[in-house]
Structure 1
Amino acid sequence: MPISIVVGGQFGSEGKGKVALELARRAKEPVTVVRVGGPNSGHTGYDYRGKKWALRQMPASCVDRNVDVVFPAGSYIDVEVFLKEIEVLRYPKERLVISPYARIITEQHKAWEREAGLVGSIGSTGSGVGGAVMASVARGAQNLGMTSPDAAHYEPLAPFVRDASEHLRRKLDVGERVIVEGTQGFGLSLLDGGYWPKATSRATTAAAALAETGLSPLDVDDVTMVIRSYPIRVAGESGPLLGETTWKSIGAEIDDDSDLTEYTTVTNKIRRVGKFDPELVRKALIANSPTNLVLNHLDYVGNQETLTRSDSRLSQFITYVEGNIGRSIDWYGFSPLGIVDASLNEHRNAFL
């Protein structure tokens, strides 16, 4: 009864979508992917033909269009975004399942976030997820003034609404793999990220993602945590970022004249970027206890060809990371297209 959970260990945009897609491709059994959370962050993946997909509602792990996609009770759906994405993906509609208890994001929720000042004060994307969470938790409280429609009573989603928990249980009972694609990162977690109120509206750990699926912890056999060489935060007043620097400075360190500037998927604003923060990652490791750890964006540190040289900037950075987080890296990421098994690096340190 195998479940893989993919989570971020920093502030999001670590490359979780790419990793979840890689897990789906490597699986020996049929795969179902689960998208928890909402469309307040983008997930990017490249399909088999090399086409880039930057998705907000659909999971990046579905871009090959060969897996079932489930939105469980703990998901928040922007119907317009969802319908547009399945149209451009040309996704087989019979492979889409939405829990009747999934919550719908309305214009009312988006307006509440704007009027509450969250976009400016905490760097919120204004996608309405926070408002939808508030409305759901309020349970119809008259002094909040927001409704919380569910998928079961939202006509445009009627063709997709089924018992998601039962669907997932059937898959697990016959040995199929379920991949839960988490959102954002540990440093943004509402409960334990350590940066409240500069946080998102949900908990972002593996345990929290699993709770949103309605499945049992006894089903999980893999937790994959993804981190990046230079962590980012979204633009604006989004919270502290250790050793904040510029994209130009990062490029200069590796003599790269190309523009490394990253933009947020949802708001298309320049991401803030900082130095690697071992303390944040150590806390994320405690909360998630991953079976696999992925270090992405290593091309921002050095060329993959220098990985076999113990004196290279790249190898020294990996040694620094492993020594300061007390954990070996299992997979390296040098591009948006995949990951490399760390066992290929002959100069591993004592944490192996």
Structure 2
Amino acid sequence: MPVKIVLGAQWGDEGKGKLVDILCASASMCCRAAGGNNAGHTIVANGITYDFHILPSGLINPSCALNLIGAGCVVHLPSFFKELGALEEKGLQNVRQRVKISDRAQVCFDLHCAVDGISEEILRSKDGDKGMIGTTKKGIGPCYSDKVGRRGVTMGMLVSGQNGQWEKRLRTLHQGYISTYGEDALSHYDLEAEVKRLKEFRTELASGEYTIDATPLLSRTIGNNGKAIQASTQFGDAPETSNGVPPSDENDASLFSNVLIEGANALLLDIDHGTYPYVTSSNTGLGGVFTGLAGLSPLSLTHPDSSIIGVVKAYTTRVGSGPFPSELNNTIPHVSEEDAHAGDELQRIGREFGVTTGRKRRCGWLDMVLVKYSCQVNCYTHLNFTKLDVLDSFEEIKIAMAYRNRRDGSEIRGFPSDLDLMDNEHLEIVYKTMPGWKTETTGTREWDKLPQQAKEYIEFVEAEVGVPIKWIGTGPRREDMIVR
């Protein structure tokens, strides 16, 4: 049973959606392991633009039978149903029948969204914009905080009712946040209105059979030894042995012949391995896949057609606050006027605005220190290099190869956890400059048709990280992709 895992290798917005869309053509199951509707994938297919947030992108492919939101996710139900409706309006078929939510996923309340905004404003009042985390204000952080604090509500608790336990918990959370922030801060939040809406959602969730015990399904589909096992068309009714797993029969044809897992956000936003505290609140790397999708065997990655794919933009972008060593902006010390202009051009040509927030993305040259670190953490077997065509007009292209301490000239080894070491005022970047190609590559679909300088740029990156670049994005459309 091949399993393909697609993960963001930088700070998000690398263009994961297009590769996921391409791989979904052969996938029968698409899974989200972590995060919520703070994520954003844009897919352009058949001239139609689709924006995905909490929903797995496999819904764009009618043959992708199951799209699973895993236990590591947090689900804001108004956004979930709104997104389903938007996909239906654009003509996607059977989306409600092809999506399931793990009953262990957490419910993200409107209350969490309100608290998220309050927390950011408190940080702003203390230290200005630099003090803010730069969240999407979708309630993700507060929801994960309540999960870890054992105060949260799972989807299973909500749907089953459990003697009204979910409502008691929501009311308790509300009182706790009032104690913390005061009634005035939460005056715009209507508790009774949310309780009423959730009761309506409970009915819709139950009638549509949206929630599922995902662990037995994943275990049955892939098996504890990584081999495919027969799964029932009812998503979980296969006969079990005493240990909860059906007997393996290599002659059986699995309902799910190919599993695709799409990461949300990216490695440098991981709660453990990112630029903490300027990160999201979930595990966005490889580790989060196996906690958020329990039952998925790591041995499945030994299948010859399995892969861990890191998506790397041909330059670097970031939305929100936090360190960004290779950022090109005229407000940053030691950034030349020429480089600041290059940053503006990357933003303009690349149309760098966040899918979820609409905020302008910060832009900079490709950072090899960051990408190498990402490769170490996520163990990529292949890379997808995206938005190469954005660099078409540049005379020269720079690559950040190392960091130095501007105070004493010493090299900073690896990607530091100490954010003070990445302060742009005290950090010196060692750049390699390569010639641009000054030729349009948009829409190129064959390696041999790329300009020689573009090939050299890609091959240099490939050699530096030691991971093959299999896919090269050359435009926004599904077809704008070179496969090597």
The TM-score, its normalising length taken from structure 2, stands at 0.63
Question: What does 1:255-334 correspond to in 2, within 5 Å?
Answer: 259-302=349-392, 303-304=440-441, 308=448, 312-334=452-474
Determine the C-alpha separation between the residues in 2 that align with 1:252 and 1:81: 34
Deviation at 1:23, TM superposition (A): 1.0
| Deviations, residues 95-128 of structure 1 (Å, cap 9, x unaligned) | 2211111111102211222222268511111111
Q: Could you say which residue in structure 2 is the equivalent of 1:207?
A: 287
Matched, 1:84 2:111: no
Q: Could you say which residue in structure 1 is the equivalent of 2:314?
A: 229
Matched, 1:135 2:164: no
Determine the C-alpha separation between the residues in 1 that align with 2:219 and 2:153: 25
Matching residue within 101, 104, 113 for 2:104? 101
Question: What does 1:244-263 correspond to in 2, within 5 Å?
Answer: 244-245=328-329, 249=342, 259-263=349-353
Q: Contact between 2:382 and 2:468, CA under 8 Å: does it hold in 1?
A: no
Secondary structure of the corresponding residue to residue 299 of structure 1? helix
Deviation at 1:7, TM superposition (A): 0.2
Which stretch shifts more, 163-172 or 296-305?
Answer: 163-172
Determine the C-alpha separation between the residues in 1 that align with 2:476 and 2:349: 16
Question: What does 1:138-157 correspond to in 2, within 5 Å?
Answer: 138-140=149-151, 148-152=152-156, 153-154=158-159, 155=202, 156-157=204-205
Deviation at 1:238, TM superposition (A): 3.4
Secondary structure of the corresponding residue to residue 168 of structure 1? helix
Matched, 1:177 2:258: yes
Q: Could you say which residue in structure 1 is the equivalent of 2:269?
A: 188
Q: Could you say which residue in structure 1 is the equivalent of 2:12?
A: 12
Change (3 A) 1:134 1:260: same
Question: What is the one-letter code of the residue matched to 1:64?
Answer: N
Change (3 A) 1:315 1:138: same
| Deviations, residues 197-233 of structure 1 (Å, cap 9, x unaligned) | 1111112112212320112212233211110011111
| Structure 2 unmatched runs, 5+ | 160-201, 223-228, 230-253, 330-338, 393-439
Q: Could you say which residue in structure 2 is the equivalent of 1:349?
A: none
Determine the C-alpha separation between the residues in 1 that align with 2:283 and 2:69: 17
Which stretch shifts more, 221-230 or 91-100?
Answer: 91-100
Q: Could you say which residue in structure 2 is the equivalent of 1:115?
A: 118
Question: What is the one-letter code of the residue matched to 2:267?
Answer: F
Question: What does 1:19-98 correspond to in 2, within 5 Å?
Answer: 19-25=19-25, 27=26, 31-36=28-33, 37-47=35-45, 49-67=46-64, 68-90=66-88, 91-92=93-94, 93-98=96-101
Deviation at 1:259, TM superposition (A): 4.5
Q: Could you say which residue in structure 2 is the equivalent of 1:145?
A: none
Secondary structure of the corresponding residue to residue 127 of structure 1? coil
Deviation at 1:64, TM superposition (A): 2.7
Q: Contact between 1:248 and 1:259, CA under 8 Å: does it hold in 2?
A: no
Change (3 A) 1:218 1:188: same
Q: Which has the larger radius of gyration?
A: 2
| Deviations, residues 170-199 of structure 1 (Å, cap 9, x unaligned) | 443216111111111111111112x11111
Question: What is the one-letter code of the residue matched to 2:135?
Answer: S
Tell me how large the CA RMSD over aligned residues is. 2.6
Q: Contact between 2:385 and 2:473, CA under 8 Å: does it hold in 1?
A: yes
Q: Contact between 1:46 and 1:63, CA under 8 Å: does it hold in 2?
A: no
Q: Could you say which residue in structure 1 is the equivalent of 2:429?
A: none
Q: Contact between 1:46 and 1:337, CA under 8 Å: does it hold in 2?
A: yes
Question: What is the one-letter code of the residue matched to 1:38?
Answer: G
Deviation at 1:284, TM superposition (A): 0.9
Change (3 A) 1:101 1:60: same
Deviation at 1:251, TM superposition (A): 7.8
Question: What is the one-letter code of the residue matched to 2:383?
Answer: L
Determine the C-alpha separation between the residues in 2 that align with 1:149 and 1:105: 8
Determine the C-alpha separation between the residues in 2 that align with 1:250 and 1:335: 19
Deviation at 1:312, TM superposition (A): 4.0
Change (3 A) 1:310 1:12: closer
| Structure 1 unmatched runs, 5+ | 141-147, 344-352
Change (3 A) 1:333 1:247: farther
Q: Contact between 1:15 and 1:44, CA under 8 Å: does it hold in 2?
A: yes
Change (3 A) 1:310 1:266: closer
Determine the C-alpha separation between the residues in 2 that align with 1:327 and 1:97: 34
Which stretch shifts more, 319-328 or 152-161?
Answer: 319-328
Question: What is the one-letter code of the residue matched to 1:19?
Answer: L
Determine the C-alpha separation between the residues in 1 that align with 2:211 and 2:218: 14
Determine the C-alpha separation between the residues in 1 that align with 2:270 and 2:101: 25
Question: What is the one-letter code of the residue matched to 1:123?
Answer: G
Q: Contact between 1:310 and 1:316, CA under 8 Å: does it hold in 2?
A: no
Deviation at 1:276, TM superposition (A): 0.2
Q: Contact between 2:29 and 2:67, CA under 8 Å: does it hold in 1?
A: yes
Matching residue within 463, 466, 476 for 1:336? 476
Q: Contact between 1:122 and 1:197, CA under 8 Å: does it hold in 2?
A: yes
Question: What is the one-letter code of the residue matched to 1:33?
Answer: C
